[in-house]
């Protein structure tokens, strides 16, 4: 019944799209916000469903692909096709079209939703309608922010607390703070992580300091109040052993099944398997960080046929020696097959 209602709702929304052309991509990523009436806002809300008309698969095909991201129970028992490949880590350049398109669509939809959330509360409209409109927009919006420490204009630890607090409250959605001092020159101290963990919207940290002792101290101070994610592919299992919840990974771009299975083995209590998979991951990690990220991973994705494009300056192509290292490592891992 739930599925029927959603498909019917999508069909209704699409039937209204002809009347809201001005709200679909009038500026890139739906930047139009000069709304004056409730009807304007209703058209903008309908525009959130515009992804359903983006290809020949039709409303239900695109709708199922989208809602699969939000609720797995929407399509249980149905033939999944490419969605099944996505879920079981069987993606390849030949079946990756929907993934690429969906990310672009999701970015646009999030931007449209953010505009509604920002503008509608300031309009002179019925409060019940404003609540419904912003609630709908929040559903389509990104669910969390990954937020790096300020760089160049480095601040104090107190400044970090003030910065992350202000950003979290402005965004209104959960925040994972990102500690990568090798890039920013600024470290989030364990005591600062503890202070940040007291904020209801700051509930995670991507730890890429490489300092296992520091991670242990964060875990000891924060406990369950701050979810810890590894930011280094060569330190996944060590962080999981300290209570980490997973990894925000580079290697997973080329070997998602390997990274997934490593984490899953640890969560299942098979630490020996998790260790073995972590060690199996090391050559890929070394190759994909042979130069500054994302130079190697973009080169690797292009080799695998994903058409990731060139790096933007000041980043350039990897050296010939590193190109050979990346290609040889991908071959050794069975990711390039003749």
Cα distances (angstroms) measured from residue 246 to each of 9, 154, 196, 264, 277: 36, 28, 20, 9, 14
User: Cα(178)–Cα(204) distance, rounded to whole angstroms?
Assistant: 9
Cα distances (angstroms) measured from residue 251 to each of 91, 146, 149, 317: 14, 18, 23, 18
What is the CA 293 to chain-centroid distance, rounded? 17
Cα distances (angstroms) measured from residue 108 to each of 51, 62, 142, 303: 9, 15, 11, 28
User: Cα(14)–Cα(19) distance, rounded to whole angstroms?
Assistant: 10
Return the closest-CA partner of residue 141 out of 120, 119, 114, 167.
Answer: 114
Q: Could you report how far apart the first and last alpha carbons of the chain are, in Å? A: 47
Return the closest-CA partner of residue 187 out of 176, 201, 199, 177.
Answer: 177
**Neighbouring C-beta atoms of residue 178, cutoff 10 Å:** 21
List 206, 229, 298, 299, catalytic entry: 206
DSSP alpha helix (H) spans, the chain: 2-15, 38-47, 58-70, 82-87, 97-119, 127-140, 157-171, 181-184, 190-197, 212-222, 236-241, 256-267, 271-288, 295-303, 320-332
CB burial of 118-151 (b: ≥16 within 10 Å; e: otherwise) equals ebbeebebeeeebeebbebbbebbbeebebebee
User: Cα(252)–Cα(333) distance, rounded to whole angstroms?
Assistant: 13
Q: Are 149 and 184 in contact (CB under 8 A)?
A: yes
User: Cα(30)–Cα(274) distance, rounded to whole angstroms?
Assistant: 44
Q: Are 171 and 145 in contact (CB under 8 A)?
A: yes
Q: In what order do the strands lie in the sheet with 246-247?
A: 145-148, 175-179, 202-207, 227-230, 246-247
- Counting as low any pLDDT under 50, the low residues of the chain are 1-31, 51-80, 82-83, 86-87, 89, 91, 95-97, 99
Return the closest-CA partner of residue 237 out of 275, 184, 191.
Answer: 275
User: Cα(44)–Cα(107) distance, rounded to whole angstroms?
Assistant: 16
User: Cα(195)–Cα(127) distance, rounded to whole angstroms?
Assistant: 36
206 an active-site residue?
yes
178 an active-site residue?
yes
List 43, 112, 130, 178, catalytic entry: 178
Q: Are 337 and 309 in contact (CB under 8 A)?
A: no
Contacts 24+ apart (CB under 8 A), 104-110: 105/51, 105/54, 105/66, 106/51, 106/69, 107/29, 108/25, 108/29, 108/30, 108/51, 109/48, 109/50, 109/51, 109/140, 110/140, 110/141, 110/142
């Amino acid at each position: 019944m739930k599925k029927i209602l959603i498909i019917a709702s999508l069909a209704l929304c699409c039937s209204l799209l002809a009347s809201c052309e001005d709200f679909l991509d009038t500026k890139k990523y739906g930047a139009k916000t000069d709304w004056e009436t409730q009807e304007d806002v209703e058209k903008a809300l309908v525009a959130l469903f515009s992804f359903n008309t983006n290809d020949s698969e039709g409303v239900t095909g695109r709708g199922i692909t989208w809602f699969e991201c939000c609720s797995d129970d929407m399509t249980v028992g149905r033939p999944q096709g490419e969605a099944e490949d996505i879920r079981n880590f069987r993606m390849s350049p030949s079946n990756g079209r929907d993934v690429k398109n969906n990310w672009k669509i999701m970015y646009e939809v999030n931007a449209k939703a953010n505009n509604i959330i920002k503008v509608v509360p300031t309009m002179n409209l019925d409060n019940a309608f404003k609540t419904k409109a912003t609630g709908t927009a929040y559903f389509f919006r990104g669910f969390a922010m990954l937020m790096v420490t300020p760089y160049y204009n480095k601040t104090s630890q107190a400044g970090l607390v003030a910065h992350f607090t202000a950003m979290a409250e402005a965004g209104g959605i959960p925040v994972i703070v990102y500690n990568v001092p090798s890039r920013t020159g600024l470290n989030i101290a364990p005591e600062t992580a503890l202070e940040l963990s007291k904020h209801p919207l700051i509930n995670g940290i991507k730890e890429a300091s490489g300092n296992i002792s520091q991670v242990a101290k964060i875990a000891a101070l924060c406990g369950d109040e701050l979810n810890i994610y590894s930011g280094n592919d060569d330190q996944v299992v060590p962080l999981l052993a300290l209570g980490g919840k997973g990894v925000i990974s580079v290697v997973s771009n080329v070997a998602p099944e390997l990274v997934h299975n490593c984490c899953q083995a640890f969560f299942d209590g098979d630490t020996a398997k998790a260790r073995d998979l972590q060690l199996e991951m090391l050559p890929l990690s070394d190759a994909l960080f042979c130069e500054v990220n994302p130079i190697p991973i973009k080169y690797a994705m292009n080799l695998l046929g994903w058409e990731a494009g060139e790096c933007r300056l000041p980043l350039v192509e990897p050296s010939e020696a590193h190109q050979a290292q990346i290609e040889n490592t991908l071959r050794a891992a069975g990711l390039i097959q003749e």
